[in-house]
Structure 1
Amino acid sequence: MATKNLSEYDLTTVPSAASMKFGIVVAEWNYEITGALAQGAADTLKRHGAKDENIIIKHVPGTFELTLGAQYLAEYAGVDAIIVLGCVIQGETRHFDFICQGVTQGITSLNMKYNKPFIFGVLTTDNQQQALDRAGGKLGNKGDEAAVTAIKMLALRNDLK
């Protein structure tokens, strides 16, 4: 369980995103949550210098579809990094387990296949309140954290080139 505000970080440790291009793929399912995550990610990218025209946001029906949506962004949008945002809330069936496992493995595979950052910003919570707390609520916004991670991973790659 998160114990700190996900939106609190040292601004001086985040490189400029002015020359970076980002894709954000957002699940429409639980959109009250995922829309807030997307807004947080986009705002954070801009705060660090990303231009509006270098932030491409696309939507997919649900969390399971995030993997293919992220692959499409990698293949057709010419982005440097992809931020993947979704929300799966535990229910009464094992559906939660299958979706979480599938999207986690899918996004991990994309990182390796494309040799570029695919940032996992999928909330996997026990209930709606936990999701709200992490999508702009008392624990901040996981979208902010995903955006900072994307910037830092691109900076790492650029430093090693």
Structure 2
Amino acid sequence: MAAEFSGVDGDLPDTRVAIVVSRYNESITEKLLDGARQTLLDAGIEAPQIVVARVPGAWELPLVCASFLRQHNCGAAIALGAVIRGETTHDEHINRAVSLALMNLGLETNKPVAFGLLTCNTVEQAIHRSGGNVGNKGIESAEAVLEVLRLQRKLPSG
């Protein structure tokens, strides 16, 4: 029988988790932050182990996540923001660059990086994804990080 691993349950490592949150569209991103932080606390991550950094916008998320993840005592990062489509294609360029940078950062550091960047067409869509009728992407992002942290503890090394 093949080995099978899951991070749904199990112990969490004793590590810091960084939440990097965009100030742009702050009425949305604060709700994402509240959801992520509470999810980490509910899972047993101690408050001093949760560090929050605020950046101007989505573009700055990867750089600050990288600063944390390159520290030995930070085991994961959650990037939170909201980019809402405007009259140009600017949002597409931001979303693509940030998503690729965050994915590459996780692969480079071998640490989980959650993509909690809302990429919405309207403010209404963002509201629904930050605690409205579609849930809270901050909570989902924190849950994903927790699951991967647990899973990494179970994977064979070497």
Please say if 1:127 is aligned against 2:122: yes
Identity of aligned residues (%): 36
Normalised by the length of structure 1, the TM-score is: 0.87
User: Does structure 1 conserve the Cα–Cα contact (< 8 Å) formed by 2:13 and 2:153?
Assistant: no
- The one-letter amino acid paired with 1:69 is V
- 1:80-131: per-residue Cα shift (whole Å, max 9, x none)? 1000001100111010111001101110110111111111110000100100
> Equivalences for 1:1-161 in 2 at 5 Å?
13-17=8-12, 19-76=14-71, 78-160=73-155, 161=157
| Consecutive unaligned residues in structure 2, runs of 5 or more | 1-7
Give every structure 1 segment of 4 or more consecutive aligned residues whose post-TM-superposition deviation is greater than 6 Å.
Answer: none
**TM-score normalised over the length of structure 2:** 0.89
Query: For the Cα contact (< 8 Å) 1:14–1:148, is it kept in 2?
Result: no
Q: What secondary structure sits across from 2:74 in the alignment?
A: coil
Paired residue total: 149
Which of these two proteins has the greater Rg computed from alpha carbons? 2
- Counterpart of 2:99 in structure 1: which amino acid? T
Alignment deviations for residues 58-78 of structure 1 (CA, whole Å, 9 cap, x no partner): 011000110101011112472
Over 3 Å counting, the alpha-carbon distance change for 1:128 and 1:16 in structure 2 is farther
Superposition RMSD on alpha carbons, in Å?
Answer: 1.4
